[in-house]
Structure 1
Amino acid sequence: MFADKMILRIPGPTPIPPRVQQAMNQPMIGHRSGQFSDLFASTAERLRPYFGTSGDVFILAGSGTSALEMSVVNTLQPGEEAAVLVSGAFGERFAKICERYGIVVHRLEVPWGEAVTAEKLATFLADKPSVQAVFATYCETSTGVQNPIRELAQVVREKSDALFIVDAVSCLGAVACEMDEWGVDIVVTGSQKAFMLPTGLAFLAASKRAWEVIDRKKPLAFYLDLKAYRKSFADKTTPYTPAVSLVFGLAEVCNMLEEEGLPAIIKRHELMRDMTRAAMRALNIPLMAQDEFAAATVTSCHPQDAFDPEQLRKVLKNHHNIVIAGGQQHLKGKIFRIGHMGYCEPLDVLQVVAAIELSLRQIGAPAELGAGVKAAQEVLLTHV
């Protein structure tokens, strides 16, 4: 076994392509130089198709959570009301950020493993006329659920005057996102998921409607002042020190994404999702999300009492150098999650499924060797 050959199949951070690693190893340049400004401006513009916007995409040095917080502190004031759609750990994070700033939070909670539907949201908003922003999670990483953002955006538009703000950290760049067409006001994401970079960059795009609100508000934070980013963006830079090496890498990521094309990227992720789900079913491992709302980037499995997910994860890591994720909060020790996004392709899915089969046998769980692989292969054959 090669100790340096650890294979990440978690929902972030994800593996980094060698050509992106090489791009990040370029010699450092001045972050206020013309060379960097040109790179920064052109790279930011190349991000627009993945958001589905004609507007600017802002890049800041920080994790995805920094962009979540940025979306809160620039659109709301203490005492104002927000609705937060909570279908897992990261919806709950949005609610906690709002509460930290004194915002009145109305939680629309659904059981973990379920999606927030348009019907539920319409009913929820009916008696909340003072809500000024609705926060949603596109892909709920903790459960493998992909919420129907397009339909939810339509409800927000029809039932309220609120902004619709979406956390797309664990799926943007792998799924369809048409924020302008759908009527989404703010979309945020991070670098370490489908964008195939290390943690350290966050991205945010805002609609004209969102900017009308932002311009009326006093930002509740200094570093996360979106108006400061807009002012610097006009000069092709950032208000504070950017992560230069990560932007080098981001430019190379854009090259890779453009070479494959967004429609093909979306199809690849849907294929990997379908392969993974078929394999788990063939191994009689229950899935958390319904097919209709299954995330394209992560699959969450709930073996219940059939075997210990933590034992499975331990054997996968120690014997096969493959890392998958466990559960979070009340699901810790009860589920396992397989990431299939970014620098990942269908044959990688076959690899992790084969290793799961072996590991199940090693921990004494019932598993027919080859059953999951065969099921995944059959799905793959329909696409080749």
Structure 2
Amino acid sequence: MTASSFVPYPTVAPDAGPDGPEAAGPPPGRPSVTHLRLSAFAGHRGAGFGLGPLTLFTGPSGSGKSTALRAYEALARLGGGAELAEVFPDPAACVPERARPDAQSRRGFRLGCTADGPLGPVRLDLAVQAEPELRIVGERLTAGGLVLLETALRDPSRPAVQAAWYTGGASPVTRGPLPDDRLGTALLPLRVAGKTDGQRQVLAAAEQMVIALRSVFACDPRPRRMRAPVSAGGGRLLRGCDNLADVLWRTRSECGRRHGQLVAAVRAGCTGPVADLLSEPGLDGRVRGLLDRGDGRRTDLRLLGDGELRYLALALVLLTGPGVLEVDPAGEVPEALQTLTVLADGFDRRMDPRQSGELLRLAARMCEQGHIRLVAAVSDVAGAEGATVVDLGPADGVGEG
């Protein structure tokens, strides 16, 4: 975004040069986001980040680590069909600080990503107007050198953008309105018939992008809430890991092998002996988490330190999958064709070096096996062998760590 005008979207170009090269793609057939672009978003301008199976953002406070993860999560939620106002409750905070309004008093921000998969790289670029009202004013989906979807705001008085999508037939494109408060790419299956090769290419590209974006679990364990007993029966871990005790009840009974791996990980990162990790129902029907010390003693999880609880919760996340985590994957696609991406801001927050090192080593093993992908912000990258490290360097007074 220039200082004097609001440009709806950037010119389509390969993901190289200023944006940096694409990271290695996901396993064949598994769509995943491999590049994040923040063309003009909060403290980032003209920024592009290649994302590998394990990607760690590092840098001082204020360098933009949290901002990058927040942008990724926003794209993921839009890919899942969320409304723009729900995804950006404070859109003005996403506008670059020194961006001046154009002649129509408009200011906004731009972001995008590339999803690799069966079709090769599929690129999505999005321009959002934050002021005077929140709306999508430009969207472009491209693959194989073709613009498959392009939208633009033609009439500011209407809550819609004019869209054109590729057909490859006698008429090269089909035109029609799309709402200006949702991601058009996610709506294409409702508008494109799929009768021509071109239309099928559009649908395949949209599906690849949406699957990659929807298969995301944003996680930020909150130790204070994890200490309280919880109601039983949910069985799916929330992003704050508040219901950790209930999920432990389920994992221990349903998957002994993974539970054993979790116990081993907790043993490596928590103080004192650890023989088992379990849940116990109380008289009120709620369950609490316990560490079995192996000598008849049990330690209530509420007695653990914040770092230990965050370590335990993140180890559980790394060792499980969509069936246990509260995510909204593309349900019509077999799990074998999806790759879960975990987003974790402050991944090593409140942990000592031993805990953060053990957790990063566990993350490296899980990501290498293709079990998950992890994009995290950390203060120290020691122990993360084979990680894609994004060092944002010294803070320049903008952005947010």
TM-score tier (shorter):
under 0.3
Q: As a proportion of its length, which structure holds more strand?
A: 2
TM-score (norm 2): 0.23
TM-score (norm 1): 0.24
Structure number with larger C-alpha Rg: 2
Q: As a proportion of its length, which structure holds more helix?
A: 1
